[in-house]
Each structure stands twice: as structure tokens, then as C-alpha cells.
Amino acid sequence: MADSEGAGRRVHVCGNFDIFNYGDVLFPLVARHRLAPAGYEVVPVAPTARRSWPDSLPALSLQDLFAGTPGAGILVGGGHIISDMPVTDFFGISDVKDDPGGTWAQTYFSGLWLGATLQACVTGVPIAWNAPGVMRPFIRSEIRALARAAMDVAERVAVRDAESLRLLGPQAEGLACVSPDTVLDISALWPRESLAEDFAGLVSRAGFDPGQRFLAIQVRRLLKKEAFPDIAAQIAAHARASGAVPILVAIGPGLKDDEAARQTAAHLDCPHILLDAPASLREITAVLAFSAAFVGQSLHGCIVASAYDVPALVVAERPARRLAGFLTYRGTPELLFDGWSQAFEALGTLPPRMPVPATMRTELDRHWADIIAMLHQPQDRSAAQLAFLRLYARLGMRGLGPEWSLRPFRPSAYGEREALLMPRSSRPARSAPAE
């Protein structure tokens, strides 16, 4: 099949897929599981093309997306990526101008949703929000208008919890809806029984029997007035009382979970497993699926455990909007705790299995059905696309002047290609290519 023909079945999924954070890297895998039966190939797009775990999907960079052949559609998210920073710097309308119009502003969070929308408008492909999270309200009226224009372009605007919907503000009224974080589909992608060998291999190498009782623990940051020895003492006390073996798992090594796991383990005076350098996404998933419970600070540790009906308790300083958003959605807001001692105390009162509400699975089915319908028969969004492009250009030129839009046409903007624009007599000599 020619590349152009294959591109017509590709769906570009934009998110933070180039970092060592377990939850973010799962989104393309789940999307592929849902879209492959409909005949679509998922291509992740991240700020860079760096790959994290060996069983993650290789990603294109945002630059590759803009330079490549358009696909069948674009999905924004999931992940905690809808933010007004550093968008304001890019348009020159904030007080912080450390890098106005620079690569940071163009390729990080703003690139993952506004950049994706820009690409959809330029190429005319459909775009949808794949239940990302919203970081904070849009402070600037200009960015609120741009967000509204981006939502007008999208055929489906789904965010992952009611708090994200609230943070979008009034401009989202009638356009946005709430749909579960798509990582909840992980138990369909990798059924529990398919992970049995991964889990058995991990615990056996550590000298334990797979039939023992295990507890998944994830530490990311210290809460006020807490230290690693305090956390370790509480873990050990629960382990001795329950007979469970703690597995300290670094769900987000890129967020220093590995350092926190090692520091906690250094003070742990009970049998335990330290998984500070997980070999794969499946290995982390197996730990969460086969543990008796999850106690930690990771949103996607909580979501994945819940997907396998494992009780999941979260420790965080409030308001902890991301964590509270999912727990409230699944009907267990009481499982957010201010400290580790409260979480371990509550753990003994929970049932052994805690399935998520069936309505969440139904809503996920509806979400993916709408996305597939969009890909099969895109709506005409040309008017909304033109409006977005006009606003995008107007904000940029008003904030940073006409040079903002003319920058790509300056010879110096081409970097190493500048030599090609010089008079032939002025060009540096080329060396022969290495063999």
C-alpha cells in the first residue's frame, strides 16, 4: 500500500508519551486496542520522539506531525495536558516572556492541544478530545476565546472528570462532556489472566511465592510533617498485621518515583519487593492487577488498580483535583486521604474486590463509538477551522507583531539550511560523507 493510502487510516494521538510516566504512555495502547478493529492505525505524537518503555508505542514528534502526511484524524490526550501555559507566552500576552515564540511554547502542553488543533485546521482532518484533564482555569480572555475556538473545531470534546469540565469555564457550555479516563480500558487490553506470567516471574525472582498476598505501594512526594522513615514504619505495621508483602513500585520514574521508592525501602524492616526500575508497562500493570490493594499517590496507579477491581486508596494533600476527580467519578470520594496512616486504617474496612460502576464502562463504549463515527464520516468543520486560524493569527500578530507570523520566511530561521540560501561563492565547503 502506498504511504498516502496508509495515511488515510492513521489516527494521530497527541500526549506526553515521551516521558517515563506509566499512565501517560498507556493512552496510545488503549486507543490502538479500540481503533484497530475499525481498521485504524494509531500513531502517538509527543513533544519529542523519545521512547520510554520497550512495550510502549514509538511516537512521532510534534514537528514530525506538522511536516508529515495528514492522517484520518487527530485525538487530543488523554493526560493532564489542557493548559493555558505557556500559550500566553507564545502569543506575547502575558507578563512572562522568557521565551516568547520559542520552541518551549510551541512544543509542550500548548502543542499537544492547540498545536494539534492547528494541524487539524490546516489539513482539514477531524479532531476530538480524548478525555484529557484540564490543569486550571483559563485566566486570559484571549486564551478563553482560543479555547472556545478549538472546541468549536473538535467534533467531540470529552474531558475526564467534572472538575475538568468546570475548569473549562462557560465557554465549554454545550460543547464539552465528561467521559472516563480511557486508561480504564487497560483490563480489556491486558486481561488479568494474561499478566499472570509477568507477575509470577517478578515475585519469583525476588524470592516470593506468587500465591502470597501482596500490596502495591507507590510513593511520589512527602506530605507535610512526614518523612520516609514514617511512611516505611506505617507500611511495615500494616504488612505485619495483614500478612501482605509490600511491593514498592515506581509508576513514574520520570517524576522521581524511583528515588522515593528507594528511600522508603531503605527504612522498611519487613519482607518487601523494591521495583524501582520496572522493565515494562506490563510488569507495572501486573503488580497493580494482582495486588490485594493499591495505596499510593498516582492517579493512573489508582485507575489501573480500579480497572482490575482492586481496592485503590490515594494519599495526597487536598484539593488534589486530578485524584479527587476520578474517585468522585467512580463513586468513592472517601478513598482520598490526607495521610498514610488514615489510608492504612481504612484499608482494613474495604471489601476484597471493588469494581468500577458499570456506567463508566458504558460511557467509554459510547466515547469510542463517537470517535469511530467521526473517523468514518467527518463533519464539515471548515467554518470553525477558518475562525480558529484567523483568531490564532490575530492573537500572535497583535501580541508579538507581524514578525511573529513572518518568522518562518526569514533565512536565519532555517538554522543549518541557511547556507543553501547564500550566494554560491559564499557557501562553506562540504566535506565528503563518512563511509
CATH number at 49 reads 3.40.50
- Within-domain flag for 262: yes
- Within-domain flag for 167: no
Report yes or no: 246 and 270 within 8 Å, Cβ to Cβ. yes
Could you tell me the CATH number of the domain that includes residue 352?
3.40.50.2000
Same-domain status, 265 and 226: yes
Other C-beta atoms closer than 10 Å to the C-beta of 11 total: 26
Same-domain status, 223 and 299: yes
Same-domain status, 105 and 244: no
- Within-domain flag for 24: yes
What DSSP letter does each residue of 307-353 carry, written as one string? HTT--EEEE--TT-HHHHHHHHHTT-GGGEESSHHHHHHHHTTS-S-
Strands 273-275 and 294-296: unpaired
pLDDT for the residue 328: 97
pLDDT for the residue 434: 39
Same-domain status, 194 and 238: yes
pLDDT for the residue 400: 75
Same-domain status, 215 and 146: no
350: DSSP letter:
S
Distance CA 122, CA 124 (A): 6
Domains identified in the chain, total number: 2
Report yes or no: 40 and 265 within 8 Å, Cβ to Cβ. no
pLDDT for the residue 432: 36
Same-domain status, 352 and 383: no
pLDDT for the residue 86: 56
Same-domain status, 18 and 142: yes
Same-domain status, 384 and 353: no
- Within-domain flag for 297: yes
- Within-domain flag for 342: yes
Distance of CA 276 to the CA centre of its chain: 21
Distance CA 118, CA 116 (A): 5
Same-domain status, 386 and 342: no
Same-domain status, 25 and 67: yes
- Within-domain flag for 426: no
Ranges assigned E (strand) in 69-124: 73-76, 80-82
- Show which of 357, 388, 419 is a domain's final residue: 357
pLDDT along the chain (435 residues), means of 10: 65 94 97 98 93 94 90 96 68 44 50 93 98 91 92 98 95 96 99 98 98 98 89 97 98 94 98 97 99 98 99 96 96 97 96 98 98 98 97 86 68 40 39 37
433: DSSP letter:
P
Of 175, 176, 75, 82, which is closest to residue 126 (Cα–Cα)? 75
Note down the domain range covering 116.
3-155+378-403
The DSSP bridge partners found for residue 216 are: 247, 294
- Within-domain flag for 122: yes
Same-domain status, 208 and 352: yes
- Within-domain flag for 353: yes
Same-domain status, 348 and 383: no
Distance CA 136, CA 131 (A): 15
What DSSP letter does each residue of 341-403 carry, written as one string? HHHHHHHTTS-S--PPPHHHHHHHHHHHHHHHHHHHS----HHHHHHHHHHHHHHHHHHH-TH
